[in-house]
Amino acid sequence: MLDKELLEEFAELKKRNDAVVLAHYYVEDDAQDLADYVGDSYFLAQKAASIDCKTLVFAGVEFMAESAKLLSPNKRVLMPEPTADCPMAHMLRKETIDEAREQYGDDLAVACYVNSTNQMKAWSDVCVTSANALRIVERLPQKNVLFIPDQHLGHYIQQQVPSKNIILNDGFCPTHEAIDVAEIRLLMQEYPGAAVCVHPECPSWVLDVADYVGSTSGIIERCVTGSESDYIIGTVYGVLHEIERRVAAAGDAGKKHFHFPATTPICPNMRRVTGQKVVACLRDLSGEVFVDQSTAEGARRALTRMLELAV
């Protein structure tokens, strides 16, 4: 919790810099509390593209802030923790794309999860997030789709869209990969009526026991609007803050209970993004995001195509 003095300074800095703060659900609670908009990757990309301001503070990891800069090149984009990166964003060998393009020619689309570098996006035909991946892949004209970099989201799409030949890469999110199905099963025994809600970055054996699979926003919505009193959640612990806020606003505080696996899923990079750092980057105008111009145009094209195909 930030003190009153810091909150006053923050309000003044926002005004002086014409700043809007965007935050992902996985960052520290006090950073979420300072944000004008909190959301999943898709919602935040849409906001970055459409919002009117001079400065955007992006409380999230590098690929998110870079996407915001690409979609809104005239804004100053600041990262409160500039070293917060997503390991999965780097899990691809260029040869994987080259080999698939050689094998399938024009009947191949490369679909790139936004959790990726700008270079990967530039090599691709379209970006997707976990909230819009199924819709976009279904709409691609090509039969063959190389999905990069996340193998688990790719596998989920493979199951859900059998009309396509989905080719998988071997990337993964270390935090979701570590979600242990045995720990989920223990919770299922303890709370037999619970709804199991998981993110598609989890391995398939976790998805197999789930009642609901969706993006962070989808999971939050399912927990807030569901009729069950217990929920077992297979994604990063940071979503609990928004769930509890919305459950309380709906007058259901104390009536619903949320359970995470015993090994609490925490993203070490997102966790380093704190409220103090949000204020500090606005104070010093530090952590400004600059994108490499050699990949900017290609990456922007893939992101823009996502926004077009997702509606």
Residues that bind ligand SF4 (CB under 6 A): 26, 61, 86-88, 115, 173-176, 201, 236, 267, 269-270
Query: What's the closest the beta carbon of residue 4 comes to ligand SF4, in angstroms?
Result: 32
**Residue 215 partner contact from ligand 13P, ligand SF4, none using kind-dependent CB cut-offs of 5 to 8 Å:** ligand 13P
SS3 call for 55: strand
> In the complex with ligand SF4, which residue's Cβ is closer, 265 or 275?
265
CA distances from 70 to 76, 297, 310 (A): 11, 8, 18
Query: What's the closest the beta carbon of residue 40 comes to ligand 13P, in angstroms?
Result: 3
Closest CA to 306 of 140, 119, 100, 147: 140
In one-letter notation, the amino acid at residue 276 is Q
> In the complex with ligand SF4, which residue's Cβ is closer, 82 or 87?
87
Query: What's the closest the beta carbon of residue 164 comes to ligand SF4, in angstroms?
Result: 23
> In the complex with ligand SF4, which residue's Cβ is closer, 75 or 176?
176
**Residue 87 partner contact from ligand SF4, ligand 13P, none using kind-dependent CB cut-offs of 5 to 8 Å:** ligand SF4
8 A C-beta contact, residue 112 and residue 124: yes
Query: What's the closest the beta carbon of residue 257 comes to ligand SF4, in angstroms?
Result: 24
List, in order, residues 6 or more apart from 48 with CB less than 8 Å away: 22, 56, 58, 67, 68, 71, 72, 77
Closest CA to 97 of 151, 173, 168: 168
Which residues here bind ligand 13P, judged by CB under 6 A? Answer: 40-42, 86, 115, 129-131, 173, 201, 215-216
> In the complex with ligand SF4, which residue's Cβ is closer, 41 or 144?
41
Residue 133 CB: number of other CB atoms within 10 A? 27
